[in-house]
Chain A
C-alpha cells in the first residue's frame, strides 16, 4: 500500500519537475541560512559560517540529484531523455542511421517473411477440435515396403482398441462427374466413414452428417458438399439440402454442406464427401472387394502414440492370423504406426522450412554484425563524448543504458522497415510457393509474426548494442580527453573486433552461398534429368467415362477412338493420342508380370515382378517423341480382333530379359491374357524426375480399353488456343463429359520442380543478400580504418613509401578478412554438410507414390 502510494506520488512528480526543483532549492537555502545563523552565534565570521554550513550540507548538486531521483521516476525520466537523445543522434548522422536501419530491415524482413511461412505451415493448428490428439494411423508392411491399411484392419482396430476415443477411415482420391448443375464438371471427392465427422470434431453448417444406414454397402446415395462447391455451383442456396444431384450419372441426395473453414485432411481438395459404405467386419472375405483406407484416430486423454501403437500391434497379431492364407503372409512383420496428424500433414514441408529459417538467421546475424561494425566505428568517434559524460558523473550503467536505448531505437526502426519488407516479400512467397506445402497461401503477418519481428528486433538491438557499449566502457575516462584535439583513434581492441566480425560475416555469407549453390546444383541436376520424352508444345487433358453409360469395353474403345480421330483433325494439331497415365503424373497402375516359360510369381515375389501398366493409342509415342529402340511401335494393326501385342520400356527389358531379345516373348498380367512383346521404347519418367524408372508395359487401347484416358495433343499453335476446340469436340460426343486436368506438359514439368525451385530461389536470394551485406561490412571497416589511419599513412608516404605499398597494405588487410572468413565458412559448410546429408538420407522417403491396383 505505502509503496503504491509512493509510486503514484513519484509518477506525479514526473510532470512538475520545475516546481519541485524550486521547492527543494528553497528548502536547502533555508537550511543553509539556519545553519549560518547558528554558526554566527558560535562566533564565526560570516564567510566562515557560510563555508562551514556548505561543507556540512555536502554536495548540493549531488543532493539535488538524489532528491530528484527520489521525487520522480528516474527510470522513465532517463528513458525518455535517452530516447530524445537517441533521436537526435539518429538525425545527426543520417548516413549511419540509414545504413544500420537498412541492414537490419533486410535481416529482420527476411526473418519475418520466413517466420510467417513457418507460422502458417508448421505452427498453424489443424482446424479440428482438440487436434493435438488426432493421430494418423497406419501399418508399415515390410513385404510391400509401404504403409498400407485395408478396411478389415480398420474395423478390427476400431472395434477392439482401448486407446482411441474413436477412429475414422477415409479415402481422399475419388473423383466424380457432376452433371445437371451447370456445365458438366469433374469434382474431386473423398469417401469417409460416418465416424469421420465425430473424430475430427467438424459438422456440416447446414443439413446433417451421414447416418449409419447411409454408411453401409448398398445404402442410399447421399453426398455432403463443401462450402466452395456450394457457392460455385449452387449459388449458396440453402434449399440444396434434400435436392438430388447426379454424380457419374447416379442420383445422390445432398444431405449437408460443410462450413467454409472446413479443410479436408492431407491438403486434399475434396469438393464432395460421400459415405465410404464399407462392409463392416474385421475379416477378409475372398472375392469381395478389399479397400485400402487411410485411418485417423482420436487418442484418449493421456495415451501416448507409442502406447497406442503397441496396442494396435497386439490387435493386428490376432487379426492377421484370422485372414485367409495369402493375406496373412502379406501382413507378415507388419508394424502399426501412430503419428501425430499434424506431423503427418506438414512433415514433408518441415526440413526445407527449417533450412530456410536457418538461412535467414544467418542473414540477420550478418546484418547485426554490420551494425555492430558501424557502431564500433562510431563508438570510437564518440569516445570523447562518453568520457565527458563520465566526467560529469554519469555512471557506467547510465552510459550503458543510453547506448542500449540508441541501439534499441535503431532496432525498432529496422524492425518496422523489416515488417514492411516482409509484407512485400510474402506476396512473392505466396505467388511462387509450391502448392504442395499446406497453408502456404495463408502466410501473412498476424500478431504472432509481428511479435516475432518485435522480439527479433529487440534481441538484435541488444546484440549489436552491447558490443560497442562494452568497447566504450573499456576505454579509461581520461584518455580520450587527454588526446586533446587529435581525432580519437580506434584502439587495437576495437579494430580487432571489427576485423573478426567482418571475417565472421564473410564466413556466414559463404556458408549460405555454399548451401544455395548445392541446392541450385541439385535443381539443375533435376531439371537436366532427361524425362524421356519431349513435352514442349504438348497439351494434356483428362476424360473419365461414367461407367453406368460406358460399361462395356466396346463403348470405351469406340469413344476414345472417335475422340482421338477428331482431335487429330483439329487445325494446328500435328499429332494426338491418348494414354492412361502421362509421364510425371506421379502415379502408375501396376500389376504383376508373368513370363512365358518361367514360373508364375508367388505372392512373396509380387514386388520383384511388379510392372507399371499403361494403355496407349497408336500415336502416343509420336506425340511425346518417345523413341523406339527395338521392334515396332503399337499401331493400327493391333486391333480388337488381332492377337494381343505390347510394347515395353528399356527398364523392363533390363530387369527381365537382360541377356535375351525381348521381341516376340510372350507375357501376361494378372488381368490381361498372354500377349507378345512387339517393341521396346525409351524409358520415360512416370512417377517423377528424381524417381527410378519402373519396368513398364504398354498395351494397345484397342485391345485393353479403359474408362479413363488422358489426351496428349501436339500442335503447331499455342496450346491454350486448342482448349475450346477440344472441349467442343468432347461435348459433341457426349454433352455430360467434363474435360479436366487441362495443362501443358511444360506446366507439368515446372510443377514437378516447383518446390526445389522455390527453395533454391529463396536460399539463393538470401545468399545474395548475405554477400551484399558482408561486402558492405568489409567496405565499411576498410573505409573507416583508412580514414582513421590517415595520419599513419601520411607519415608512411612522407618517409618514402610508394602509393602502391600503401594500397597493398590496405588490400592485404581486406583480403585477410575475406580469406579468414572464407576458410571459416568452408569449415562450417563441411561440418554442416557432414551433419545434414546423413540426416537427410535417414529421413528420405521413397518418393514414388504408386497406385497399386488389380
Chain B
C-alpha cells in the first residue's frame, strides 16, 4: 500500500513541477485544476492531497511560495519553480520516459527470441 502511495506521490510531484514549468507561478487550486484538465479528467484526485506534495517540494527546494493576489482579486499562495526545480523537472521527466519506455517494451506483445 505504501509503495503505491509513494509512486502516486512521486508522479503527483512531477505533474505539479511540470505544470509550474509550463504555466509559470500558480496557486495550489490552479495546479490542481490544470493537472485534472491535462489528464483529461482521467485522474480524478482529491485536491487536498496536492498540498502535502507541494510542501515536500518546497522543503526540498524545488519550488518556492509567496502570498499574492489572484486574477479576480483573491488572496492566494503562489508557487513557482526554482532553478533546482527546473533541473529536477528535466531529470524526473527523463527518468519517467525511460521507465515508461522500458515498461512499454515489456508489456508489448513480442516474439520469443530464438
Contacts and interface: CB of A to CB of B under 8 A. Distances in A.
A263 B59 CA distance: 61
Given A30-B74, A31-B27, A34-B70, A62 B48 contact: yes
Interface in A35-76: 35, 37-38, 56-60, 62-63, 66-67, 69-71
Given A31-B27, A34-B27, A56 B74 contact: no
Q: Which has the most chain A C-beta neighbours within 10 Å: B28, B29, B46, B70?
A: B29
B60 A31 contact: no
Interface residues of B, number: 24
A63 B52 contact: yes
B51 A30 contact: no
Interface in A70-107: 70-71
Contacts of A70: 52, 55-56, 59
B75 interface: yes
Contacts of B75: 26, 30
Interface in A366-423: none
A301 to B, nearest CB: 51
Interface in B60-109: 60-61, 70, 72, 74-77, 84
A56 B33 CA distance: 11
Contacts of B8: none
Interface string B22-56: 00000111101100000000000011110110011
A71 to B, nearest CB: 6
A71 B55 contact: yes
Contacts of A59: 46, 48
A474 interface: no
Given A58-B48, A63-B51, A35 B29 contact: yes
Contact of B60 (A5, A33, A38): A5
B47 A67 contact: no
A806 interface: no
B48 A30 contact: no
B19 to A, nearest CB: 15
A63 B74 CA distance: 22
Given A10-B59, A63-B52, A56 B76 contact: no
A24 interface: yes
Contact of B56 (A6, A26, A33): A6
A34 B51 contact: no
B60 A6 contact: yes
B77 A27 contact: yes
B59 A6 contact: yes
A754 interface: no
A2 interface: yes
Given A2-B60, A70-B55, A34 B48 contact: no
Contact of B48 (A3, A10, A60): A60
B74 A66 contact: no
B59 A56 contact: no
Contacts of A57: 46-48
Given A56-B47, A57-B47, A60-B48, A34 B59 contact: no
A98 B41 CA distance: 61
A10 B32 CA distance: 24
B46 A27 contact: no
B46 A30 contact: no
Contacts of B77: 26-27, 30
A700 B78 CA distance: 113
B60 A28 contact: no
A361 to B, nearest CB: 39
Given A27-B77, A28-B51, A34-B74, A5 B29 contact: no
A9 interface: yes
B60 A34 contact: no
Contact of B52 (A26, A35, A66): A66
Nearest to B59: A6
Contact of B51 (A3, A24, A33, A35): A24
B28 A5 contact: no
A41 to B, nearest CB: 10
B98 to A, nearest CB: 21
Contacts of A58: 46-49
A393 to B, nearest CB: 15
Nearest to B76: A30
Contacts of A33: 74
Nearest to A60: B48
Q: Which has the most chain B C-beta neighbours within 10 Å: A28, A30, A71?
A: A30
Contacts of B32: 31
Given A6-B56, A31-B29, 16 more contacts: A26-B75, A28-B48, A30-B75, A30-B76, A31-B27, A31-B28, A34-B30, A34-B76, A56-B47, A57-B46, A58-B47, A63-B49, A63-B51, A63-B52, A66-B52, A70-B56
14 contacts: A3-B60, A5-B61, A27-B76, A30-B29, A30-B74, A34-B30, A34-B74, A35-B29, A35-B47, A56-B46, A58-B46, A62-B48, A66-B52, A70-B55
Interface of B: 27-30, 32-33, 46-49, 51-52, 55-56, 59-61, 70, 72, 74-77, 84
**Top-7 shortest CB links A-B:** A58-B46, A63-B48, A58-B48, A6-B59, A34-B29, A31-B29, A66-B52
